[in-house]
Amino acid sequence: MDDMIAIILSKYNYWTVITLMMIGLYAMIVKNNLIKKIIGMNIFQTSIILFYVSMGMKKDATIPILEHHPGMQEHVYHAADYINPLPHVLMLTAIVVSVATLGVALSLALKVYDQYGTLEEDEINAKIRKASVKS
């Protein structure tokens, strides 16, 4: 029992990712307000970024910068001694995409508010149905 608790506590970053992911998913599915849905989407995206950064981390590893000193003997490098920088670099791109997505979604929410006077999904759908029946 104590071993299982130790294993669970040692992976706290993954439990944080799962918690954030579920909060974001809940907000996107359950909430009717468009701003709350957008914030839920942003929380979900943040959890995915955190997941990839956590996967790219290695205990007791160093950054993959190799130095060559003239006149010194050749040194054998072991890949296991270095952190893989690829997940971190890709997540920089994901952060930029996330910020851009948030900006576009908020600007679209502003346009929806200007058009319908509300950000509540049920009210917007009712106004759309009402307008389509009149046509």
DSSP 75-96: ----GGGB---HHHHHHHHHHH
Structural domain span for residue 113: 2-58+82-134
Residue 23 in domain: yes
Q: 87 falls in which pLDDT band (50, 70, 90)?
A: confident
Claim: this prediction has a pTM higher than 0.85: no
- Residues 38-83 have pLDDT tens digits of 999 999 999 999 999 888 778 888 887 777 767 666 777 777 788 8
Residue 69 in domain: no
Residue 76 in domain: no
Distance (Å, whole) CA 50 – CA 54: 6
Q: 8 falls in which pLDDT band (50, 70, 90)?
A: confident
Number of domains in the chain: 1
What does the pLDDT read at residue 112? 96
